[in-house]
Amino acid sequence: MEDKIRVLLTEEEVNARISEVAEQISKDYEGKKLHLICILKGGVFFTCELAKRLTVPVSLDFMSVSSYADQTESSGRVLIRKDLDETVEGKDVLIVEDIIDSGRTLAYLIEVLKLRKPASITLCTLLDKPERRVKKQVQVKYTCFTIPDEFVVGYGLDYAQKYRNLPYIGVVEL
């Protein structure tokens, strides 16, 4: 049986907001080189669209971390499934995430990356659910959309590996 998906944010809304956020990041990092760390798998769609719109020099690397498996709720246990290929030492790092809710994954990841001595670490997310934040120390500098506590898919976000390819953000109505 197919899941029912309700559109929360249209493709046009998402694209327009990514452009606005990219413009702000480009201003903030003017004269610097920015090292993007894309959090796989969901972050790849957003990272690519964001990177295309940035006007500062960028380098890119990937990490795969998980706390969800095939569930709709975080397990609270963070696993690094794929680590970075390059060093971040001395680099201005922008972690790019598809969605941040509890903050557990990012709190863990930030501590791991700080030990690698980057010049700076900043967070950027497509979607933020601050009302679900358990780890209050996770501060997001660049947010495209703050959304209600609903399970969303599309634009890289999945439900049991389905719906990542939707060009909009939708809510799975279970």
What are the residue numbers of the active site? Answer: 101
Give me 95's structure tokens: 């972690």
- Reduced to 3 states (helix: H, G, I; strand: E, B; else coil), residue 36 is strand
- Reduced to 3 states (helix: H, G, I; strand: E, B; else coil), residue 89 is coil
Round to whole Å and give the CA distance between 21 and 108.
Answer: 25
Question: Measuring CA to CA, how many Å separate 100 from each of 43, 44, 95, 128?
Answer: 11, 15, 11, 5
Residue 138 · residue 106 · CB < 8 Å: yes
